Amino acid sequence: MDSATTATQTKKAEDASASRESLTITDNRSGKSYEIPIKNGAIRAMDLRQIKVDPAEFGMMSYDPAYNNTASCISKITFIDGDAGILRYRGYPIEDLAEKSTYLETAYLLLHGELPTAAQLKEWTYSVTHHTFIHESIKKFLDGFHYDAHPMGMMISTIAALSTFYHDAKDIFDAESRRKQTYRLVGKMPTIAAFSYRHTLGMPFVYPDNELSYPGNFLNMLFRTTEAKYRPNPTLEHALDVLFILHADHEQNCSTNTIRGVGSSHVDPYSATAAAIAALYGPLHGGANEEVLHMLLEIGTVQKVPEFIKRVKAGEVKLMGFGHRVYKHYDPRARIIKKVAYEVFELMGKNPLLEIALECERIALEDEYFIKRKLYPNVDFYTGLIYQSMGFPISMFPVLFAIPRTSGWIAQWQEMLLDPEQKIARPRQIYLGHDTRQYVPMDQRG
């Protein structure tokens, strides 16, 4: 067989297999068929627009409230397999990173795509550590909050206020500027969180100690009192570092979708991060860890769990810390967090609410209502018990989620900015409101 024939046959075979990577859609209204290519297991929603009955029509859209089945981007940062309970940052299993890495190293991995060399990690750690201080004016800003202000409200406002200090942050397409803002955001989140906490206690702010680790310095700024040098407890320091690793990123969750959406207008990264913190604050998202504690306190005793579960099944309340849009099996982070919990309880004493949490989990894992809906403990179910045992007030729990997620948010924001396919996020709608109507003067209104 000559080479020309072979080439033709190969082309035909390629075309045939390529045509198999497609949908054939028949519009029954017009009888017309359309070939829609499939790539990476998805079709482009814009390829639906050609489907019209009348050429003057806008064309077909897909309707997907809450984006249950819509990929908003192509990403290489985090992979989740919800059915298999798999979570990987840049290909590395979360179990390995939680066991062998540190939060700052994991943050570098998320932001740069590769684990750092020793020199890179040294530079990254030095740069973040030397951006932990905040402008003294911000203290006046924090002092303006009421003593019982929720720390998440303080974080949202103060991180947004950082945009007024760093005008160079608007140069979002300048890599050096993005690098500097990244050092500042990753470095200052713990400082602002700790200052917010100290403000609510009416205690003096504790400045960063650059000789301590990232989690160690955070504990220093939170809990140091009269000692000249704060020495973080190594068990708590390690537990916090592991929890920070587990919370660092989680692909296109609500707050990440927010920073991508807000960032797509090309606003500075501080304003975009403040928006992400606001999204995370919600009780269905990062605020769930706070709600879990309120729920366990409301249940009160192990004996009252069955009664509470009855209310959940009647649809009166949710079992906070359970369920997930993606995980339809055990959240792999919850399994690791449970292990960390026992390490902390060993040191700080068992949290009395643990028994209630374990009973909720035991019942839920056996009960048809939860099994049918594939509701398992998620990342927020056990974290609050640990934080409470470490001495954090319940209102600080979502703040402990926002701090580590900052590196994931910035990595996702940067990926969006540099993606040539991305532009300002502006979804369509299906309008079912009034057709045009005349203005009604006041004296003729019903």
- Out of 241, 290, 380, 415, which residue is the one contacting ligand SDX (CB under 6 A)? 380
Smallest CA-to-CA distance from 189 within 133, 143, 147, 232 is with 133
CA distance 171 to 178: 8
Q: Please give the structure tokens belonging to residue 438.
A: 């005349």
Q: What backbone torsions phi and psi does residue 144 show, to the nearest 5 degrees?
A: -75, -15
Residue closer to ligand SDX, measured from CB, 5 or 69: 69
Query: What is the enclosing helix (H) or strand (E) of 403?
Result: helix 397-417
- Out of 196, 200, 378, 395, which residue is the one contacting ligand SDX (CB under 6 A)? 378
Q: What backbone torsions phi and psi does residue 79 show, to the nearest 5 degrees?
A: -115, 130
Residue type, 208: P
Q: How many CB atoms lie within 10 A of CB 64?
A: 11
Query: CB under 6 A: which stretch of 101-109, 139-147, 182-190, 377-385 binds ligand SDX?
Result: 377-385
| 88: β partners | 79, 93
Residue closer to ligand SDX, measured from CB, 379 or 396: 379
Residue closer to ligand SDX, measured from CB, 146 or 311: 311
- Give yes or no for a contact between 208 and 130, defined as CB atoms under 8 angstroms apart: no
- Out of 29, 266, 373, 428, which residue is the one contacting ligand SDX (CB under 6 A)? 373
Query: CB under 6 A: which stretch of 6-14, 152-160, 209-217, 284-292 binds ligand SDX?
Result: 284-292
- Out of 52, 88, 180, 318, which residue is the one contacting ligand SDX (CB under 6 A)? 318
Q: Please give the structure tokens belonging to residue 328.
A: 């339809």
Q: Which of 112, 135, 285, 329 is catalytic?
A: 285
Smallest CA-to-CA distance from 405 within 237, 292, 251, 197 is with 251
360 binds ligand SDX (CB under 6 A): no
135 noted as active-site residue: no
143 noted as active-site residue: no
Query: Closest-CB residue for ligand SDX?
Result: 323
324 noted as active-site residue: yes
Site string for ligand SDX, 237-276 (x = CB under 6 A): -------------x--x-----------------------
310 binds ligand SDX (CB under 6 A): no
Question: In Å, what is the CA distance from 310 to each residue of 75, 165, 299, 376?
Answer: 41, 52, 12, 17
Smallest gap, in angstroms, from Cβ of residue 92 to ligand SDX?
17
319 binds ligand SDX (CB under 6 A): yes
* Sheet hosting strand 86-89, strand order edge to edge: 78-81, 86-89, 92-93
Q: Please give the structure tokens belonging to residue 130.
A: 């030397």
375 binds ligand SDX (CB under 6 A): yes
Q: Which residues are catalytic?
A: 285, 324, 380
- List residues near ligand SDX by CB under 6 A: 250, 253, 284-286, 288, 312, 318-326, 373, 375, 378-380
